[in-house]
Chains A and B, each alone.
Chain A
Amino acid sequence: MSSETKILKKSSVQKLIEILASANIRLMAPQKKGAALIFAETKSASEISYDHIQTDLSAKSVLFPQTEEILSYSYAGRDVNMKEREAESFPELVLFGARPCESSAIGLLNAVFTWDTQDVFFKTRLAKTTVITIGCKKFDEYCFCTSVGCSPADKRFSDIFMTPVSDEEFYVESLTKKGDDLIKRAAAVFTMANKTIDVEKELAKVPVLFDIDALNKKLPDLFNRVEIWKEQSLRCLGCGACAYACPACACFDIQDESGKEGGKRLRCWDSCGFSTFTLHTSGHNPRHIQAERWRQRVMHKFSYFKDRLKSIACVGCGRCSRNCPVDMNLSEHLKSLMEA
C-alpha cells in the first residue's frame, strides 16, 4: 500500500508491544516455551526469538487454534439451550515474525476455509490479525520453499514485510491497509528509510530441488505404484507430528465434551497419518496401511489440492521433516517420486 518504506529497530519492539497493548491488541511472536520454539502471546520483547531458521510449530495455531470451541450448550429441565461462539469477541492480534513461507501458507488455509462454507472463525481471526513477516537471511538442509513456488522474499498474505538489514534493524514495507494502519498507530517506533533496498538481494538464496509442475503432472500416474509408497513409508510410525507442525495442513475433527449441566463442541486438529483418520464405524478402514496414508498426504498436498484450489498445499518450510522422529524427509521423497 504505502510506498514509503520505514526502519524498525529491534530495540523499539518493546515500545511497539506497549502501544499495541494500550489498544488491546495482542502480539504473537516466536518464543521459547520449555524446550520448544513456538508462537505465543508476548509481553516482553526480550522473549522474542529472531535468530532461528524456523519455529518448531508454525504460526498456524494463531489463526486456526488446535482446539477451538465452536458452540456450547446447557440443559434447562428438558430443554437444551445452545449458544454459538461469538467470533466478534476474538481479540485483535499482530502475528509478529512469521517466516515468508508460513505467511503465504495463510493463503492455503484461507482457500480451505472459504472454499464452500465460509468459516466464520477463521475469517474473523484473519480479519483481526495483522501479519508482520520477517524475510529469511539463512536456511537449512530442510528448507525447499523455492521448489514449491515460495521464497525467502515471498510477500503473499503479509501485511508488513520486514527485511533484516543489520543485527539491529529491519527494512519495513507495508503491503496492505492493515499494515498502513499499524504503522500509523505505532508511528513513534518507525523511522523513515533513507534509501530503497533490493529486498531479494538481502535475503537467502534457497536452491530449487525439483520441478513442481512436472511433479504435479506426474503424481496421478504414480497413484497405483503401491511399491513406491510402501517403500517410502516403511519407517513412518503414523504419528501426527508432520501434520501438526505444518503451516498448511487444515484437517480437523469435531469433538463433543458433555457433562451433567451441559457441554461444548470443539474443533480439533486431525491428521491423515493416523490410522483412525479414515476408520469407518463398520470397522473397515479404506486406508488400512501406513503406505496408503503417506500416499494420501503427498497426493493431497501436491495433486488434489491443486486440482481443487489451484495451488500446491506446501510452502517448503521443512517442519514436517525436521520434526519427524524417524527422519521422513519430504523433499527427498518428492525428488525420488520424480525419478520413479
Chain B
Amino acid sequence: MEKLINIARGLLESGKVKTIIGYVEGPTGRIRAAFIRKPEECSKLLINQNCIQNLAVYLLKPEIREFGRPAVIANIATQRSVLQLAQECQIADGEIDVIGFYAGNTIVEFKNFTEIEQRLKEVKLELTSDDAKLIEKINAMDTKQKWQFWVDEFSRCIKCYACRSSCPMCYCSRCLCDCNQPQILSAPSHLLGNLEWHITRAMHLAGRCVACGDCGRACPVGIPLHILTMKIAEDVLKNFGKRAGTTLVKEYALSSFKNDDREDFIK
C-alpha cells in the first residue's frame, strides 16, 4: 500500500498526472472509485481483494478527462480494458498512466501499453470458479432449457442499463437502444424488449468483452448477464484463437476478413 501511495503522490506532485483514478473505502465499508487530485489525499488510496470494479469505465468520462492526464490504478480486468480501448482507438498510448496491481499486492508502474501487453502474457486469464460453473451448467442444457433459463432471468430485467453504464467497452456516445428515429430496439421493459436489448448487447460485445464481470455485479436484480459475453469470449478464443484485451494489434475476431478464415461453423 505504501508503495502505491508513494507512486500516486509522486505523479501528482511532479505535475505529470492531474488525477489518480483509484479505490477508497466509503462510509459503509464498501470499496468505491475515487478521483484524487491533491497529493495529500493519496493516503486514502487502497488496494485489496475487494477492489474489483473495472476503473477503465472512467477513462472516457468527460468530467474526469477535464481534470487533465489521469493515472488509473488497474486490476487485471482494467489493464485488459486499457489494451482493448487502445486497440479500438478510444485512448492512445502516452495519454494516460497505468499502475497495475496483482495478487499479493504486487504493484507495477507501466511505462507504456506494450509493457501491459507483455505483463498480461504471464497472467493466467481464467474465469472465476463461480462463473465457470454457471457456464458449465448452461452448456449442459439443451436449446429449449437454455432459452427458458434466459427468458426467466431476463423477464426480471428493469432496463435500468446499469450493465451498459458499468461496462468500459459500452462507450458509444449514443447507444443504439436510445435511438428512436427510427426505433431500432423495443424500448419498453417487457420480455421482448428485454431480450432484444440483451441479445444486441451480447453480440456488440462479442470478442470485445474482457470478462471483468462488472455488468453482472451492477445488475440490481442479479441477472448473471456477464455469463453471456464471457461464454462468447470463450467461444471466440476456441474458434479464432483470440482473447480481447490481451493485445494492441487491431484485429477483431468477428469483423476482420481473411481469405483463409474458417467457414466450417456456417451451417
Bind each other:
yes
Q: Which residues of A contact B (CB under 8 A)?
A: 33-36, 38, 56-57, 66-67, 141-142, 230, 233-235, 237-241, 243-245, 253, 255, 257, 266, 268-269, 271, 274, 276, 289-291, 323, 325-327, 329, 332
Q: Does B158 contact A (CB under 8 A)?
A: yes
Contact B166 A325 (CB under 8 A): yes
- The answer to whether B201 has its CB under 8 Å from any CB of chain A is no
Which of A34, A244, A276, A329 is B158 in contact with, Cβ under 8 Å?
Answer: A244
Q: How far does the alpha carbon of A269 sit from the alpha carbon of B158 in the complex, in Å?
A: 9
Given contacts A57-B220, A66-B189, contact A234 B156 (CB under 8 A): no
Chain B residue nearest in CB terms to A276? B178
| Complex A-B: 29 CB contacts under 8 Å | A33-B156, A33-B221, A34-B221, A35-B224, A36-B220, A38-B156, A56-B220, A57-B220, A57-B221, A67-B190, A141-B28, A230-B63, A234-B33, A234-B63, A235-B34, A237-B57, A240-B158, A241-B220, A245-B220, A269-B158, A289-B62, A325-B53, A325-B162, A325-B166, A326-B166, A327-B28, A327-B31, A329-B27, A332-B26
Bound complex: CA A336 to CA B174 (Å): 33
Within 8 A of A (CB), among B12-55: 26-28, 30-35, 53
Q: Which residues of B contact A (CB under 8 A)?
A: 26-28, 30-35, 53, 57-58, 61-64, 152-153, 156, 158-162, 164-166, 178, 186-190, 193, 214, 217-218, 220-224
Instruction: Assess the B32–A237 pair: CB atoms within 8 A.
Output: no
Expressed in whole angstroms, the Cα–Cα distance for A38 and B27 within the complex equals: 27
A288 CA to B208 CA, complexed, in Å: 28
Which residue of chain A has the shortest Cβ distance to B160 in the bound complex? Answer: A240
The answer on a CB contact under 8 Å between B188 and A257 is yes
Cα–Cα distance between A274 and B175 once the two chains are bound (Å):
12
Distance A33 CA – B220 CA, assembled complex (angstroms):
12
Residues of B within 8 A of A329 (CB): 26-28
A266 contacts which chain B residues (CB < 8 A)?
188
Q: Which residues of B contact A33 (CB under 8 A)?
A: 156, 221
Closest Cβ–Cβ distance, residue B66 to chain A (whole Å): 9
- Name the one of A57, A142, A276 contacting B28, with C-beta atoms under 8 angstroms: A142
A residues in contact with B214, CB < 8 Å: 325
Assembled-state Cα–Cα distance A56/B53 (Å)? 21
In Å, the complex CA distance between A35 and B130 comes to 14
Report B-chain residues with C-beta under 8 Å of the C-beta of A36.
156, 220-222
User: Which of A234, A239, A253, A323 is B64 in contact with, Cβ under 8 Å?
Assistant: A234
Q: How far is the CB of B105 from chain A (nearest CB, A)?
A: 22
Please tell me if the beta carbons of A255 and B28 are within 8 angstroms of each other in the complex.
Answer: no
Structural contact, A268 and B57, CB atoms closer than 8 A: no
The answer to whether A241 touches B160 (Cβ under 8 A) is yes
Q: A269, B221: Cβ atoms under 8 Å?
A: no
Question: What is the bound-complex CA distance between A34 and B134, given in angstroms?
Answer: 14
Q: Which residue of B lies closest to A233 (CB)?
A: B63
Are B156 and A241 within 8 A (Cβ)? no
- Bound Cα distance from A235 to B165, whole angstroms: 11
Q: Contact at B162–A241, with CB atoms within 8 Å?
A: yes
Chain B hits for A240, CB < 8 A: 158-162
User: Can you name the residue of chain A whose Cβ is closest to the Cβ of B158?
Assistant: A244
Chain B, Cβ-Cβ closest to A245: B220
The docked-state distance in angstroms from the alpha carbon of A36 to that of B114 is: 42
